[in-house]
């Protein structure tokens, strides 16, 4: 009887204990890589739960300051602010108003955390327009790219004056990064960085976010957000943004576009961010609530996959929770 052939290569040796697995881990998730998106709503006295995003709220001014202070204490990479105004108009005037909800929130959070936490702000009109589009709408119903750029420049200046560290242009208007960079530099805000939403896809996973910002959108954004089948287009958009002065570029959503994250990472020489968006969050939370998956393990696996695809920075609604989990595991 022939002797049994035993394997010479035994990769399992390095999986035998948790400490060995930690020793050889190729990809890790750290608090400093995570950015917390946060919504602040005008005219409320208590945080308002977002029904489609369990555990996420529309903040008051006070609760937002507390969330930012906690984010700084946990060592997060930043906080990304979104404003939810009481009133809207066709031009999104609240976005450029120094007393508008987002600009006031920037000022308050910067005052709260100082240099302990990078403060970022969404630079887009969709939260502020009564039609819900990311730009100004022309008489024929189309979104007017170039007139929108003028408003984006003014919005960038308003956010910079409020003290923001990074602006996040997310409207997918052609030339937006270049116009914003020029406006910031001309006004002396040369230190304000741009986190460009470069490859932002027209996705079915944005639904819960629209509840979070009380979106007024009718129709869709397919004339300016990218088609889900296109990878090369996403890389081209990222390269254009880098050429126009983007300090970081982003792919959004994350999970359905992990291949785009990798392609962009391979193409650019600036940090790459990815947005683990609302629908991705809500799917996992719903599955966990039904007992179908191990919630904490699935969260960590999700964020690890985004890092493994090439993201240097991940925007995620789990940022604070994961930072606490990582701290407890030390």
143-158 b/e (C-beta count within 10 Å ≥ 16 → b): bbbeebbebbbebbbb
Distance CA 217, CA 3 (A): 71
Beta-bridged to residue 285, according to DSSP, are none
Distance CA 24, CA 34 (A): 22
Instruction: Kindly state the greatest CA–CA separation across the chain.
Output: 86
Of the residues 59, 133, 181, 200, only one is catalytic, namely 200
Distance of CA 314 to the CA centre of its chain: 7
Distance of CA 252 to the CA centre of its chain: 8
How many C-beta neighbours within 10 Å does residue 272 have? 23
Write the DSSP symbol of residue 60. P
88 is catalytic: no
Backbone angles phi, psi at 261, to 5 degrees: -55, -45
Contact 52, 11 (CB under 8 A): no
Contact 197, 203 (CB under 8 A): no
Distance CA 10, CA 23 (A): 17
Residue linked to tokens 């039904």: 290
How many C-beta neighbours within 10 Å does residue 290 have? 8
Distance CA 96, CA 107 (A): 14
Of the residues 41, 59, 88, 252, only one is catalytic, namely 252
Write the DSSP symbol of residue 152. H
SS3 of residue 304 by DSSP: helix
SS3 of residue 58 by DSSP: strand
Catalytic residue set: 200, 252
């Amino acid at each position: 009887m022939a002797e049994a052939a035993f394997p010479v290569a035994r990769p399992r040796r390095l999986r035998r204990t948790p400490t060995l697995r930690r020793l050889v881990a190729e990809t890790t998730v750290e608090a400093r890589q995570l950015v917390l998106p946060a919504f602040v709503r005008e005219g409320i006295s208590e945080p308002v739960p977002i029904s489609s995003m369990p555990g996420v709220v529309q903040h008051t001014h006070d609760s937002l300051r507390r969330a930012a202070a906690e984010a700084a204490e946990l060592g997060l990479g930043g906080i990304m602010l979104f404003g939810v105004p009481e009133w809207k108009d066709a031009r999104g005037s609240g976005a450029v108003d120094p007393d508008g909800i987002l600009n006031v929130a920037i000022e308050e959070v910067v005052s709260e955390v100082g240099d302990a936490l990078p403060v970022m702000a969404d630079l887009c009109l969709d939260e502020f327009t009564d039609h819900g589009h990311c730009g100004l709408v022309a008489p024929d119903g189309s979104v007017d790219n170039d007139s929108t750029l003028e408003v984006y420049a003014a919005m960038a200046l308003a956010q910079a004056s409020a003290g923001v560290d990074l602006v996040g242009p997310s409207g997918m208007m052609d030339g937006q990064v270049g116009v914003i960079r020029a406006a910031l530099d001309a006004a002396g805000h040369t230190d304000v960085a741009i986190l460009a939403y470069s490859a932002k896809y027209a996705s079915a996973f944005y639904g819960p976010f629209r509840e979070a910002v009380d979106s007024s959108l009718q129709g869709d954004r397919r004339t300016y957000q990218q088609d889900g089948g296109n990878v090369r287009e996403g890389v081209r958009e990222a390269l254009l943004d880098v050429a126009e002065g983007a300090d970081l570029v982003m792919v959004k959503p994350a999970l359905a576009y992990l291949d785009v994250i990798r392609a962009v990472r391979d193409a650019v020489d600036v940090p790459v961010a990815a947005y683990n968006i609302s629908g991705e969050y809500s799917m996992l939370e719903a599955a966990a609530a039904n007992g179908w998956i191990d919630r904490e393990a699935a969260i960590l696996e999700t964020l690890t996959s985004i890092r493994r695809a090439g993201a240097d920075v991940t925007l995620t609604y789990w940022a604070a929770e994961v930072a606490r989990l990582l701290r407890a595991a030390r």
